[in-house]
């Protein structure tokens, strides 16, 4: 009798190997998306007129099915992880750009004036004042993007076992083994929940200056963010 976590040999990997692969394929795009979104968002803050069209473009990109992306990308990047990760990075922009723009805009004008008047140049002001104050909003975006990315990676199985835990879905169907499907679905969900928890802890650690929510006086929490359930549903449709 083989172990619960044993998986078919055609995947040429262990279960934990797939978990690692899944995480890498999910998280690298999120980090890349964040790095791309920061300058775009800063441009949108600087040039107000740019924000609506940028938002429109990120939404349209988000609406492109990943399969369509793969078809185009395979010509350039082949059946590789990169082909899976590029669309994921693009999708994350729809969350990051508004999160960062709102976060940076939420810095009070007095605070910016005070920073300028104290002789902080624009770059110092951005790094020392605007970004730290926008951190809670950015981390809120990061949570949504991470969870969504973790659930989306599975689709990579369509281009030849590049879907991390998603590859088990295919195998489960081929070999009629519900166990593999459970391993895939539950594994993905657990990864998403753990990643989200880690980000919550990070937020608590990096923002000791935020009023902590007591039951009596509920202070301003992080700026409104979409319910994680909403993108998850959209992903299910995809």
Partner 1 sequence: MIRIDSVTKRYPDGTVAVDRLSLEIPDRSITVLVGPSGCGKTTTLRMINRMIEPTEGTILIDGKDIMKQPVNTLRRSMGYVIQNAGLFQHRTIIDNIATVPRLLGWSKDKARERARELMGRVGLDGALAKRYPYQLSGGQQQRVGVARALAADPPVLLMDEPFSAVDPVVRKGLQDELLRIQDELGKTIVFVTHDIDEAVKIGTMVAVMRTGGKLAQFAPPAELLSSPADAFVEDFLGADRGIRRLSFFSSAGLDLLTTPIVAVDATAEQIAARTAPDAPYLLVTDLDGKPLGWSEPDALTAGRIDPTRLVSHGRPFVHGKESLRAALDGAVLSPTGWAVAVDTEGRVAGVVSQQTIGEAIRAAHAEGRADAKVAG
Q: How far apart are CA 229 and CA 163, in angstroms?
A: 21
Q: Which is nearer to partner 1, 72 or 220 (CB)?
A: 220
Binding interface with partner 1 (CB under 8 A): 108, 110-121, 129, 132-133, 135, 207-211, 219
Q: Shortest Cβ distance from residue 13 to partner 1 (Å)?
A: 43
Residue closer to partner 1 by CB (options 134, 159) is 134
Tell the smallest beta-carbon distance from residue 205 to partner 1 (Å): 13
Q: How far is the CB of 119 from partner 1 (least distance, A)?
A: 4
87 Cβ partners below 8 Å, 6+ apart?
Answer: 64, 66, 69, 70, 73
Closer to partner 1 by Cβ: residue 178 or 208: 208
By C-beta, is 63 or 114 nearer to partner 1?
114
Minimal distance, residue 197 CB to partner 1, in Å? 23
Nearest approach, Cβ of residue 111 and partner 1 (Å): 5
Closer Cβ to partner 1, 3 or 121, answer by number:
121
């Amino acid at each position: 009798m083989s172990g619960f976590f044993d998986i078919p040999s055609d995947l040429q990997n262990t279960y934990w190997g797939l978990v690692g692969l899944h995480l890498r394929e999910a998280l690298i795009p999120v980090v890349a998306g964040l790095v791309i979104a920061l300058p775009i968002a800063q441009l949108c803050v600087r040039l107000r007129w740019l924000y609506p069209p940028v938002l429109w473009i990120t939404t349209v990109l988000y609406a492109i099915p990943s399969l369509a992306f793969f078809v185009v990308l395979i010509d350039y990047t082949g059946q590789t992880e990169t082909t899976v990760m590029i669309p994921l990075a693009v999708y994350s922009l729809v969350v990051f750009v508004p999160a960062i723009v709102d976060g940076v805009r939420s810095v009070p004008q007095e605070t910016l004036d005070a920073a300028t008047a104290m002789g902080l140049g624009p770059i110092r002001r951005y790094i020392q004042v605007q970004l730290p104050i926008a951190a809670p909003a950015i981390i809120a975006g990061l949570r949504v993007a991470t969870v969504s990315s973790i659930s989306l990676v599975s689709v990579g199985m369509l281009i030849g076992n590049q879907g991390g835990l998603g590859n088990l879905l295919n195998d489960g169907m081929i070999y009629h083994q519900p166990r593999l499907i459970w391993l895939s679905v539950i594994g993905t969900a657990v990864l998403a929940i753990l990643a989200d928890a880690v980000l919550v802890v990070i937020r608590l650690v990096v923002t000791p200056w935020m009023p902590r929510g007591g039951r009596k006086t509920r202070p301003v929490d992080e700026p409104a963010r979409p319910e994680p359930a909403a993108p998850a549903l959209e992903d299910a449709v995809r």
